[in-house]
Amino acid sequence: MKKIHYILCFLLFGASSQLMAQDISLFQQFNGHYDYTAFGNTLNAIENGSGGNCSILTSSSADLNLNANQNIVAAYLYWAGSGNGDFDIALNGTPITAQRTFNDALDPTRVFFAAFADVTDIITNQGSTTYTISDFDLSAIINPFCPTGTNFGGWAITVIYQDDSLPLNQLNVYDGLQSVPTFLSITLDNLNVLDNEDAKIGFVAWEGDAGLAVNEQLTINGNVISNFPLNPANNAFNGTNSFTGASDLYNMDIDVYNIQDNISIGDTSATIELTSGQDFVMINNIITVLNSQLPDASISIDDYIVNCGDNSVELFYTVYNTNSTDTLPANTLIAFYVDGILIGQSQTTNAITIGASESGSIIVSVPDDIDPNLTIIAIVDDDGNMTGTITEINEDNNITFEDIELLVIPDIVTLPNLIGCNEGFEISTYNLYDALEGQDFNEENITFYQSLEDLETGSSPILIPSDFNNTSSPETIYVRLTSPPCYEVFQFDLTIENCPPFIPDGFSPNGDTLNDWFNIEGLYNIFTEHNLIIYNRYGDIVFEGNNDKPWYGKINRGLNKQGSKAPVGTYYYILNLNDPNYQPIVGWVYLNY
């Protein structure tokens, strides 16, 4: 059968009180090929209550011995003693300050403390060696505790290690501070017992007197446990260390018990009960290690994409099997909700091994009547009814949330057309900012686009709005005016009007190829239906032309010889552009040779 190890670490102090206490609760969990060991030492030079000198050490040492294949993953230092507490000590010369503290009391004058610090870095760096706790000084406060035999101090380090030869275990670290006498019951939850072969329990206890054994028992699920001869059933707290076989840990115990017959397959909790007719026992730290081959699915939403005016959201997510002792099966279901409404379902593609993950994406559709400021909930191992189908180490970490704001397109404001001058082939140059005349804006907050889709996605903006050539006529331009947290949308059309022609003051048809004809710029390729009439100073028509017949200074109307040169002089013209936007243009032009 697969092995399950139950290891419980207690910090126990002598005789009971309800003046102060902190309930034992889960502190940390590890899943994998893990187990633990514990070592430490007392500051008591002799058993307390023995009538000797009232004194206490300020330092003590103990050895850590790990095998080469046992790799440290965590190390937790707990220290405790009489009084209100010394929370600044040293470990192998490195200053240690308590990261968490606990307290309890027999009465207002007999108070006790415990403290915690994570010393993983120190233990990892130094490995198997001798460790010394120093600067732990209770000398000034210990005297009042000696007459009642409640003077004590000590420390213990629990080292959690990884070893590939171990079964896949779940290791839970609990702590708090609860005490007896006369009776104390603690229920440990978050357990998954798959096999109970070679299950064991261990604890560290303070102020246990070898000579006191008044109704002193430790039970698991109602069964008394013992480890004879180190820990007889009627005297569990007697100054021994089951890891080393030592029996001189005055008022301190580090013990391990086999509880194979005291826990059952399928159990999800265990009840620990302590009784003591005389000793004051304070439980500060408990560790359980269970064989537990189960996956543990969790999920995160890593990113998302929303588009303007679109209730669809593309979600990018990752499914993890990090804190696990077995592979998460392929096709593990994933469900997505908004306001309790199922909006999408997906599933993993591959089996996810221990410590691995898999990323995926899905497009979900949000109902139209949902507020655009919404929260999407993603749940892994969910069949769409908020129900899981896979047994996991932790059933409470399958959910994640992501706040999302849909990009609702605001009403589009239509601006007046921006009119350009026809430069040929219906192309003109525009300063697009001119269309926003009367609007309050800074140019850095304005972006122009040639399609609404580009505006919604923020792609392909017009790069030089002040010098833009249209591509068609009319052409609609879309404007995004950003003003956090929202934006406004405008649109306007680029239209073309024929440019007014430029009419020269004179010309000289002398054959030198310079100004040889009445060249009215912007006339012949734009106002193709125009009509030009030339009069002499007497009011006689001397020439009439059109787009196919420009004036080269020759006469084609009147009594003068047709095709002859018009005399040097000033001539009056009427230019009818035949364009509804323009009236006929009149003026004078000088003819010279």
Extract the tokens encoding 391: 């047994």
How do residues 243-272 score in pLDDT, each as one tens digit? 999 999 998 888 888 878 888 888 889 999
- Which of 251, 228, 225 minimizes the C-alpha distance to 239? 251
Note if the bond before 474 is cis, omega within 30 degrees: yes
pLDDT > 70 in the chain, percent: 96
Distance (Å, whole) CA 496 – CA 422: 6
Asked whether 263 and 278 are in contact (CB, 8 A), the reply is no
Three-state SS at 261: helix
Three-state SS at 308: coil
CA angle 339, 342, 346 (to 5 degrees): 135
Asked whether 42 and 129 are in contact (CB, 8 A), the reply is no
Whole-number mean pLDDT of the chain?
A: 89
Q: For 557-578, what is the mean pLDDT?
A: 90
pLDDT score recorded for residue 424? 54
Asked whether 157 and 118 are in contact (CB, 8 A), the reply is no
Q: What is the dihedral of CA 444, 445, 450, 453, to 10 degrees?
A: 140
Q: How far is CA 87 from the centre of its chain?
A: 35
How do residues 490-543 score in pLDDT, each as one tens digit? 999 998 887 788 899 999 999 898 999 999 988 887 888 999 999 999 999 999
Q: For 348-356, what is the mean pLDDT?
A: 95
pLDDT score recorded for residue 182? 85
Extract the tokens encoding 94: 């490195």
Ranges of beta strands (E only) in 21-163 are: 22-32, 34-42, 60-63, 71-82, 88-91, 94-97, 100-105, 111-118, 130-134, 153-162
pLDDT score recorded for residue 540? 92
Q: What are phi and psi of 550, to 5 degrees?
A: -75, 165
Distance (Å, whole) CA 354 – CA 322: 6
Q: Name residues whose C-beta falls within 8 Å of residue 175's C-beta, 6 or more positions apart in sequence.
A: 24, 25, 27, 78, 100, 102, 116, 284, 285, 286
Check whether 488 has a pLDDT greater than 90: no
pTM of the model: 0.62
Query: What is the residue whose two structure tokens read 């929260």?
Result: 375
Taken as a whole, the chain contains a residue count of 593
122 backbone φψ class: left, alpha, beta (φ>0; ψ -120 to 50): alpha
Extract the tokens encoding 219: 């039970």
pLDDT score recorded for residue 308? 72
Q: What are phi and psi of 576, to 5 degrees?
A: -95, 110
Q: Report the chain's C-alpha Rg in angstroms.
A: 46
Asked whether 294 and 326 are in contact (CB, 8 A), the reply is yes
